[in-house]
């Protein structure tokens, strides 16, 4: 792996990249329109009504200081403990806080104090707005490469989300390892980020504007597969992807023939090889996807439809928060002849965008890192 130098293993300290990123997002940028590239432009998809309603309740200043243009919202959130890596001004934290409900909790971690000041200012406002008796959010200053050092307990979160933030880290393997550490068994890392068509040159990686704009730190998508395996995650499942274009000629000349996509992957902390292939039936109990639940590019579960899944997906469904939303039966069961064969899937985001025909940039209301995600907080 051609990863950049990591910070010291104990007593995490700023690298020059961390200093530059904090300056860029704390002092240079004041609003989304200050971004100098169009890396945050991608095709938009409709936002579900219940999420739109939660977003409307977020304080205007929190939204104004949020450097993104979309959402990363996984399914089945009620009562969950969620961690947002690089939470910025807290827009996603507050939106998710209503979706998890009073019995759930959302923690945001960010290294930029200016952003955290905005987020913390409105804790009481949102508690009242959502009708909660007490806050169900907290904000922590720290580094996504050092979650436990920041005081976050191991095996304490059901879900970790990240919204175009991992690319800003110089040590992506450590980010994944820390995420794995603080996830509960059966937990999920559901994150969107920018990926490149190959390993980037040192010139690109050392360009401050390209790094701050979420391009210079982009990981080659194949390296994500390797890093996830090394850390202990299940193989990544690709959810969606869209093309990123860079129209700035000066930046494009530096980037040369490299291509970039934004993609959403889901990674799970589950046992290896513990479950045999089986048939599953989705019961339609997940809010917002009652009729059809798109798990990844290969599996879309329609309510009451029998679907054949391999052992790895069976392990995820039986060991994660989704286990109550499915009925499981062994292959060869009474409804064997009715089982739907899964279509061919892909983990290559560049192949996916070709399949989807999404080769043209769309509305700036879309997300950077997926059709429902945000970029560069």
pLDDT at 372 over 80: no
Three-state DSSP string of 157-200: EEEEEEECCHHHCCCHHHHHHHHHHHEEEEEEEEEEEEEECCCC
Contact 161, 367 (CB under 8 A): no
Residues 6+ positions from 369 with CB-CB distance below 8 Å: 42, 70, 72, 163, 164, 191, 192, 193, 194, 262, 263, 264, 375
Q: Where are the beta strands (DSSP E) in the chain?
A: 81-85, 105-110, 137-141, 157-163, 183-196, 219-220, 237-244, 260-268, 278-282, 292-294, 300-302, 306-309, 326-330
Output the pLDDT for position 356. 85
**Which residues, listed in sequence order, are joined to residue 85 by a DSSP beta bridge?**
109, 162
pLDDT single digits (tens) 12-54? 666 555 555 555 454 554 455 555 444 544 334 568 889 999 9
Distance CA 70, CA 174 (A): 26
pLDDT at 176 over 60: yes
Residues 6+ positions from 124 with CB-CB distance below 8 Å: 135
pLDDT band at 370 (very low <50, low <70, confident <90, very high): very low
Closest CA to 228 of 217, 219, 241: 219
Q: Calculate the CA dihedral of residues 7, 207, 196, 264 and round it to 10 degrees.
A: 60
Mean pLDDT value across residues 66-76? 80
Element (H, E) at 50: helix 49-56
pLDDT single digits (tens) 216-273? 999 999 999 999 999 999 999 999 998 888 888 999 999 999 999 999 999 999 998 7
pLDDT band at 371 (very low <50, low <70, confident <90, very high): very low
pLDDT band at 7 (very low <50, low <70, confident <90, very high): very low
Alpha carbon of 297 to those of 35, 226, 239, 287: distances in Å?
31, 20, 6, 20
Output the pLDDT for position 71. 76
């Amino acid at each position: 792996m051609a990863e950049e130098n990591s910070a010291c293993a104990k007593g995490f300290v700023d690298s020059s990249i961390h200093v530059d990123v904090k300056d860029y997002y704390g002092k240079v940028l004041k609003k989304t329109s200050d971004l100098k590239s169009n890396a945050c432009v991608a095709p938009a998809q409709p936002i579900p009504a219940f999420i739109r309603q939660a977003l409307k309740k977020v304080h205007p200043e929190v939204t104004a200081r949020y450097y993104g243009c979309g959402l990363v919202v996984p399914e089945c959130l009620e009562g969950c403990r969620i961690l947002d890596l690089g939470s910025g001004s807290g827009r996603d934290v507050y939106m998710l806080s209503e979706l998890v409900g009073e019995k759930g909790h959302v923690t945001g971690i960010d290294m930029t104090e200016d952003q955290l000041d905005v987020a913390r200012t409105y804790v009481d406002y949102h508690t009242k707005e959502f009708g909660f008796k007490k806050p169900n959010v907290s904000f922590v200053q720290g580094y996504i490469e050092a979650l436990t050092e920041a005081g976050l307990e191991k095996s304490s979160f059901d879900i970790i989300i990240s919204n175009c933030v991992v690319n800003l880290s110089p040590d992506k393997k450590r980010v994944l390892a820390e995420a794995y550490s603080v996830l509960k068994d059966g937990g999920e890392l559901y994150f969107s980020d920018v990926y490149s068509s190959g390993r980037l040159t040192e010139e690109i990686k050392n360009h401050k504007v390209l790094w701050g704009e979420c391009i210079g730190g982009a990981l080659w998508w194949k390296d994500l597969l390797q890093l996830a395996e090394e850390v202990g995650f299940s193989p990544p499942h690709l959810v969606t992807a869209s093309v990123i274009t860079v129209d700035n000629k000066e930046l494009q000349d530096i980037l040369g023939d490299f291509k970039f996509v934004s993609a959403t992957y889901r990674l799970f902390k589950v046992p290896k090889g513990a479950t045999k292939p089986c048939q599953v039936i989705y019961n339609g109990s997940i809010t917002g996807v009652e009729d059809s639940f798109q798990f990844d590019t290969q599996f879309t579960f329609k309510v009451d439809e029998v679907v054949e899944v391999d052992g790895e997906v069976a392990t995820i469904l039986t060991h994660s928060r989704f286990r109550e939303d499915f009925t499981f039966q062994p292959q060869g069961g009474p409804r064997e002849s009715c089982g739907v064969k899964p279509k061919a899937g892909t983990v290559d985001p560049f192949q996916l965008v070709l399949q989807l025909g999404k080769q043209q940039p769309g509305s700036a209301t879309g997300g950077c890192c997926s059709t429902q995600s945000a970029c560069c907080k």
